[in-house]
Homo-oligomer: A and B are copies of this chain.
Amino acid sequence: MEFRYYMPVKTFFGKDCIVKNSGEFPLLGKKAFIVTGKSSAEKNGSLADVKKALDNVNIPYVIYNKIEPNPEVEDMRKAAVCASESGADFIIGIGGGSPLDAAKAIAKNTPLPIAAIPTTAGTGSEMTPYSILTFDKIRNKKSISTESIFPAAAFLDPAYTETLSAEVTVNTAIDALSHAIEGYLSVRSTDVVKPYALESIKLIGECIPELEKRSFKSDTREKLLYASMLAGIVIAHAGTTAVHAMGYPLTYHKHIDHGRANGLVLYHYLKFVERESEKVKDITDIMGISGVDEFGEILDRLLGVKEMLTEQEITEFTKTAIAGKNIANTRPQPEESDIRKIFEDSFRR
C-alpha cells in the first residue's frame, strides 16, 4: 500500500452554511474579489448570501460577473489584472465549474486564497487543485494543476441547486458520476480513494430514478451535491482518465456540455476497461445493476438523442484525446486505435 492524501479544503456543507460561517471569511483576507457568471448566482441566492456574510464581518468586495462557460485562458489573464487592480486579497468563486475554474485561474499567480461555492452538483471543483480552461491556441480544454489553487474553504448549500434546469442537473450528475468512476479506475487510484469513490457512485446510483424522470426532491439535490463533493476528493487524488480526455474536444468543437460529453463516451470506456479490470464490477455492484450493459442503458435514457460525429471529426478528436495528459491515468493504457473505437462505438447510430 502506498499513497499520498491531501485535502486541505475547509468544507462546510448544509443549509445556510455561508451565512452561518461568516466568521471564516476574515481568515481568508480583508477584501474579496467575487468571480461568478452573468446571472445564476443572483437567481439561486448564493450571491446574496455571500454579500450578507461579507457584510456581517465588514469585508468589502468587488463583483466580477463576466465568466462565460468554458473560460478561455486569455480572458482569465485579463480578469486577473482586474483582481489585482481591485486591491482584493482573496477570491470567492461562485457557480458551476466555469466560475470556479476561473476563480482558481485568477488566484493562481499571486497566489491568493480561494473560497469556492458550487451551485451545481457536478464538477467537484471546490475540492480539487485543478482549473480546467479553454486554450484557443491548441483548440482544446486543458487543466492546470497546482496545490496553491486548492480552495482554502468551500461552502456547499444544496439550496442553490434547486433552481437548476433538469438538463443541467442531469449533465452535472453524469459529470460527478464520471469523476467517481474514473477516479476509482485510474492508475493513480489508491486505498484511501476507494471508500469515497464507491460511496459517491452508490449515492448517484440512488438518484437515477429521479434523474430519469427529470424531477428532483430536495433530498436528492442534497445527495447529488454531496456525491459531487466526494467525487471531487476522489479526482483530487486519482485524476480523471480517457473519458475526460475524450470529452474535452467534444466540448471545444461541438459545444457539448462537459458532463454530457463525458456521459456520451462513458459506456464504451467502461466496456474497454472491463476487459482487464475487475474493478468495473465493483461499480455496477454498488449501483445495484447487472453490469456495464445495464449501465449503458441508463446512460442512453439520461442522454436522449445523441449528437452525430463525422469521420473527420472522429479522426481529429481522437488525435486530440490521445494527446491528453489524463490518458496516462487510464488502465488498460489505450492506443490511438482504442480511443478511435470508443468514439466510433459511442456515436454509432
Chain A positions near chain B (C-beta within 8 angstroms): 1-15, 17, 158, 191-192, 194-196, 198-199, 222-223, 226, 230
Contact = CB atoms under 8 A, between A and B. Distances in A.
A128 to B, nearest CB: 14
Copies in the complex: 2
11 contacts: A1-B158, A1-B226, A2-B13, A3-B13, A4-B12, A4-B13, A6-B11, A7-B7, A192-B226, A192-B230, A195-B199
Contacts of A3: 11, 13-14
Contacts of A230: 192
Given A1-B222, A7-B7, 16 more contacts: A1-B13, A1-B223, A2-B15, A3-B14, A4-B11, A4-B13, A5-B10, A5-B11, A5-B13, A6-B11, A7-B8, A192-B226, A192-B230, A195-B195, A195-B196, A195-B198
A3 B195 CA distance: 18
Nearest to A127: B5
Contacts of A226: 1, 191-192
Nearest to A152: B8
List the 4 shortest-distance A-B pairs measured between CB atoms, nearest first.
A2-B14, A195-B195, A5-B11, A8-B8
Contacts of A222: 1
A8 B9 CA distance: 7
A192 to B, nearest CB: 8
